[in-house]
Amino acid sequence: MVSIYVHHAEYIDSPARLKALNALSLAYSIFLQGMIFSTFSRYLLLSRRLLTKLKRLKPDNNMNIYKLSLLNNASRK
C-alpha cells in the first residue's frame, strides 16, 4: 500500500505550492487570533455594560433603610 504522502507528493512538492500552503497557514493563524481577540474583547465589553446596567437597575437599599429609619423616628415622636 502506498502512503498518501508519497502518492500525492507530486502535487505538494513544487516550491510555489509549499509557499502557498505556508502562507495559508499563517493567514489562518492571524485570522483566528483576530477572531479570538474580537470575541473576548466584545464579551468583556458586553459584561461591563451589563454590570453597569444592573447597578443602575438595582434598588438602592441604603435609601430604603434611611427612609424606614426616618419613618420609625417620626412615629416614635
Continuous segment of H or E residues that includes residue 9: helix 9-12
- The pLDDT of residue 45 is above 50: yes
pTM recorded for the entire structure: 0.34
pLDDT tens track for 1-42: 445 555 555 555 567 777 777 788 888 888 888 887 777 766
| Cα-based angle 35, 20, 8 (whole degrees, multiple of 5) | 115
**11: Cβ contacts below 8 Å, ≥ 6 apart:** 17
The residues, any chain, with a CB within 8 Å of residue 18's CB and separated by 6 or more, are 12
What pLDDT is recorded for position 1?
A: 46
